[in-house]
Amino acid sequence: MSEKDGQISIKQWARFASALRQYADAQDWENVRKVNIALIKALQQAGKAHDIEQKTARAELKRVHSQVLQELILARDELAVEMSRFKSQQPGLAAYQLTQVSGAVDDL
């Protein structure tokens, strides 16, 4: 089956993996999302891999995709922890700001 028949080249699968890795390394999650959408469409278009080269290329892409997904989950979890920490500090920060304001008035 040629690329004209809907088959995606091995180089194209490698480009998907490279783009996923590049954007994940930069923590550019929006572009990771866009590549993922394009990847889903390409996989649907290509259908099942029949030859060993295609299977190997897709297996490598699957490995990179899995790594990027784990990194995204980790980044999401770290952000959730940071947001929780930020929210827990808000009452103390507000109290501190009030003491600063009241101290400034007393200094006049």
| Residue 108: band (very low, low, confident or very high) from pLDDT cuts 50, 70, 90 | low
| DSSP conformation class of 2 | -
Backbone angles phi, psi at 2, to 5 degrees: -95, 170
**Prediction pTM value:** 0.67
Average pLDDT over residues 102-106: 58
Is the pLDDT confidence value at 2 over 50?
A: no
> pLDDT tens digit string along 45-100?
999 888 999 999 999 999 999 999 999 999 999 999 998 888 887 777 777 777 77
Helix axes 29-46, 10-25, angle to 10 degrees: 160
Q: Where are the domains of the chain?
A: 3-106
Q: What is d(CA 20, CA 64) in angstroms, rounded to the nearest whole number?
A: 7
